[in-house]
């Protein structure tokens, strides 16, 4: 009888005040099964770097990272009663939209121009069709306009990025593994709830926001972004009547020289959508730096080793960290070593070829970063020691992760690989400090 009442409650939430006795029943039942929830997480990173003189190149490279960061990797379960209830309520929504505002300050590395980038946009999400995003903004003091349309279409195994200001477009293809993940979520606020459920977080209590009574939840746990984003704070404000988010606030310090502030707001839930809204329109005079499209790399042990070897061959060392800012900086440094060109004097064809080369330069680094972030999200207890372990440290652990109850996979400094038990790993990691 109580289960039937709970089902009715979930269907009616948001349309009327919840009776106190029903609310108590719901809270008790959520408490019983919250530890059984099997959630998936993904990294939701929406920004990219741009340099005025390299706009076509940097946009092309940035789109790849946007896709990587938007793919859901993380799995786990969460103990929260209230957030578990919010998540369950959100699963009843087939389509919705919201607005996003972002301000990115600083630069990716000291040698690049500093400034402030302001972006605003609208995101439409459908369980059936995928995601459509349209963002506009202004880059720094130059008042350079940016406009981007993005479509993530799991059914077609593709992502489209259209850039009207540059009259360019890009098409990304996904393999079966990534498609299956995307079918479950695509850059979706529902995944933010899942991520918080698996992080350390605090209940901020209730307040009135835009004449709506809300309850807030805050996390500063780096695990929210898979350890890829540095210092962060995420606050989710939920309507206490509807149990649906009304505002999400994000503050991310990606590095000492680069920070991002973002707000998701103006949510409209339970929309009716049409397939035509998710059909990309590419004008005939638009060009692409990737005529053959781009196939997203796989994220596995083999491609991670390839990424480590690529870094070693081009920089004589391994990346100090496997976060987004470090990997992006290393990739750009590698590209600059081989390409000292004034792009202003290049033809359209030469610029597109240069864009292709930069993207291919970033591909091995992308595979390495993606694999590590996936390990973090799947709670395989990865640890990386690239800041102290080099290629000559043949018996020291460079990267390791858990593969069983007492079993770990280890990549050593010379990039050899071995499976060891917990006691052997403990001794290996003690040697790192010697």
The confidence score (pLDDT) of residue 225 equals: 64
CA angle 15, 20, 24 (to 5 degrees): 110
The confidence score (pLDDT) of residue 355 equals: 66
Highest mean pLDDT: which of 112-116, 125-129, 178-182, 359-363? 125-129
**How many whole angstroms separate alpha carbon 183 and alpha carbon 195?**
17
SS3 content of the chain, % helix, strand, coil (to 5): 35, 30, 30
Neighbours of 323 (CB within 10 A): 23
Domain 39-377 has CATH 3.30.1490.20: no
pLDDT at 150 over 50: yes
Global model pTM greater than 0.75: no
Using N-to-C axis directions, what is the helix angle for 82-90 and 189-197, rounded to 10°?
150
Residues with Cβ within 8 Å of residue 389, at least 6 apart in sequence: 318, 396, 397, 398, 413, 432
Q: Give the model confidence (pLDDT) of 311-333 as tens digits.
A: 999 889 999 988 777 777 777 77
For 208, half-sphere exposure in the C-beta direction (CA atoms, 13 angstrom radius) is 2
Range 160-164 average pLDDT: 91
Q: Give residue limits of the domains in the chain.
A: 2-36, 39-377, 383-432
**How many whole angstroms separate alpha carbon 108 and alpha carbon 129?**
34
In terms of pLDDT, which residue wins out, 31 or 406?
Answer: 406
Q: Give the model confidence (pLDDT) of 228-272 as tens digits.
A: 566 789 999 999 989 999 999 988 887 667 788 899 999 999 999
- pLDDT above 70: percentage of residues in the chain: 68
- pLDDT above 90: percentage of residues in the chain: 33
Backbone angles phi, psi at 132, to 5 degrees: -130, 130
Q: Give the model confidence (pLDDT) of 56-104 as tens digits.
A: 444 444 444 444 444 443 333 433 447 888 888 888 999 999 999 988 8
């Amino acid at each position: 009888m109580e289960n039937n009442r709970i089902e009715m409650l979930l269907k009616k939430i948001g349309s009327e005040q919840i009776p106190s006795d029903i609310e108590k029943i719901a809270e008790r039942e959520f408490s019983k099964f919250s530890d059984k929830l099997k959630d998936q997480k993904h990294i939701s990173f929406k920004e990219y770097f741009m340099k005025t003189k390299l706009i076509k190149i940097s946009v092309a490279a940035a789109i790849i990272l946007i896709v990587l960061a938007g793919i859901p990797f993380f799995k786990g379960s969460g103990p929260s009663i209230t957030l578990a209830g919010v998540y369950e309520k959100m699963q009843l929504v087939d389509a919705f939209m919201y607005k996003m505002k972002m301000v990115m300050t600083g630069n990716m590395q000291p040698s690049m121009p500093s400034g402030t980038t302001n972006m605003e946009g609208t995101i439409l999400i459908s369980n059936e069709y995928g995601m459509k995003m349209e963002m506009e903004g202004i880059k720094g003091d130059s008042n350079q306009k940016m406009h981007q349309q993005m479509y993530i279409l799991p059914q077609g195994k593709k992502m489209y990025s259209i850039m009207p200001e540059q009259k360019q477009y890009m098409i990304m293809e996904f393999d079966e593994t990534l498609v299956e993940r995307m079918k479950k979520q695509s850059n979706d606020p529902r995944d933010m709830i899942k991520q918080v459920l698996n992080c350390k977080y605090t209940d901020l209590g209730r307040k009135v926001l835009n004449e709506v009574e809300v309850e807030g939840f805050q996390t500063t746990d780096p695990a929210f972004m898979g350890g890829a984003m540095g210092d962060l704070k995420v606050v989710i404000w939920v309507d206490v009547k509807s149990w649906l988010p009304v505002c999400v606030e994000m503050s991310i310090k990606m590095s000492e020289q680069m920070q991002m502030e973002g707000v998701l707001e103006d949510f409209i839930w339970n929309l009716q959508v049409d397939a035509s809204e998710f059909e990309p329109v590419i004008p005939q005079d638009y060009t692409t730096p990737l005529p053959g499209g781009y196939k997203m790399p796989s994220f596995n042990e083999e491609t991670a080793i390839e990424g480590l070897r690529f870094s070693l061959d081009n920089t004589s060392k391994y990346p100090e960290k496997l976060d987004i800012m470090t990997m992006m900086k290393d990739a750009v440094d590698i590209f600059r070593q081989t390409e000292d060109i004034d792009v202003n004097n290049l033809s359209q064809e030469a610029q597109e070829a240069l864009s292709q080369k930069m993207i291919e330069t970033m591909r091995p680094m992308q595979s390495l970063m993606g694999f590590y972030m996936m390990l973090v999200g799947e709670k395989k207890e990865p640890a990386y020691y690239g800041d102290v372990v080099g290629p000559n440290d043949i018996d020291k652990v460079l990267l390791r992760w858990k593969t069983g109850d007492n079993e770990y996979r280890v990549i050593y400094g010379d990039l050899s690989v071995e499976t060891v038990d917990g006691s052997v790993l403990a001794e290996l990691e003690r040697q790192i400090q010697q």
